Amino acid sequence: MFDWTAMLAQVDPRSATPLYAQIAARLRVAVASAELRPGDPLPSVRQLATRLRINPATVVQAYRELETEGFAEMRQGAGTFVREVASDRRSRERARQARRLVRELIAEAGKLGLSTNDLLEAIQDELGAKTA
């Protein structure tokens, strides 16, 4: 199950991150962590929009992003549903994708002139990792 009520408190219109991105991010994680299972219906575009007091089109944008990424499927006239994810292929690519992101992090830090140590300390703060 998924606690839709809790989501209401989490989505913040004043945040710098777009509403649609906040919604998509939350649901993406919900799918990844099996809070939402394949075949589960997402709330209708209008339902969620009404609950969040935002525009339906914004919810559509969130759902469309999830569909593009393969997390959900929008069926006209029926609704939007959680999709079965090809977990085999995804898990095989995880390490590779993670390394790519970390390399980008290092590149960005380099552009800004941040030292490796600056990064490691930030990682420790944000990810709670003990670094040596």
Q: Footprint of a second copy on residues 43-72 (CB under 8 A)? A: 69
Contact status: 32 vs a second copy (CB under 8 A): yes
Contact status: 61 vs DNA (CB under 7 A): yes
Q: Which is nearer to a second copy, 76 or 95 (CB)?
A: 95
Contact status: 76 vs DNA (CB under 7 A): yes
Q: Which is nearer to DNA, 110 or 131 (CB)?
A: 110
Q: Footprint of a second copy on residues 70-99 (CB under 8 A)? A: 85, 90, 94-95, 97-99
Measured between alpha carbons, how far is 52 from 54 in angstroms, rounded to an integer?
5
Measured between alpha carbons, how far is 74 from 64 in angstroms, rounded to an integer?
8
Contact status: 29 vs a second copy (CB under 8 A): yes
Please list, in sequence order, all residues whose beta carbon lies within 8 angstroms of the beta carbon of residue 45, skipping any fewer than 6 positions away. Answer: 56, 59, 60, 63, 80
Contact status: 114 vs a second copy (CB under 8 A): yes
**Centroid of chain to Cα 24:** 5
Contact status: 45 vs DNA (CB under 7 A): yes
**Beta-ladder partners of 73:** 81
**Beta-ladder partners of 74:** 80
Contact in structure between 82 and 37 (CB atoms under 8 Å): yes
Interface residues with DNA (CB under 7 A)? 13, 18-21, 42, 44-47, 54-58, 60-61, 63-64, 74-80
